[in-house]
């Protein structure tokens, strides 16, 4: 059981880190007034960071 708890804690920390890095990236793009470029449905798409809700 202890290993399962450690794995769950690690998973939560990783997910929190990913959310924080995404938030920082969006804030950076807003400050530079540049689009966020992502790969979606086989296409490269530009997204205005002001359209993303945090």
Which pLDDT does position 9 carry in this prediction? 96
- Give the model's confidence band at 53: pLDDT under 50 very low, under 70 low, under 90 confident, else very high: confident
Please name the residues in contact with 54: beta carbons below 8 A apart, sequence gap of 6 or more. Answer: 23, 26
Residue 1 has pLDDT above 90, yes or no: no
Which pLDDT does position 54 carry in this prediction? 75
Q: Which residues of 15-43 are buried (b: 16+ CB within 10 A; e: fewer)?
A: eeeeeeeeeeebeebeeeeeebeeeeeee
- Residue pLDDT, tens place only, 5-52: 999 999 999 999 999 999 999 999 999 999 999 999 999 999 999 999
Please name the residues in contact with 50: beta carbons below 8 A apart, sequence gap of 6 or more. Answer: 30
Give the strand pairing for 36-40 and 43-47: antiparallel
> Global pTM?
0.81
């Amino acid at each position: 059981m202890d290993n399962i708890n450690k794995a769950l804690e690690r998973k939560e920390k990783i997910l929190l880190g990913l959310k924080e890095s995404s938030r920082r990236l969006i804030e950076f793009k807003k400050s530079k007034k540049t689009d966020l470029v992502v790969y979606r449905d086989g296409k490269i798409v530009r997204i205005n960071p002001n359209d993303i809700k945090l």
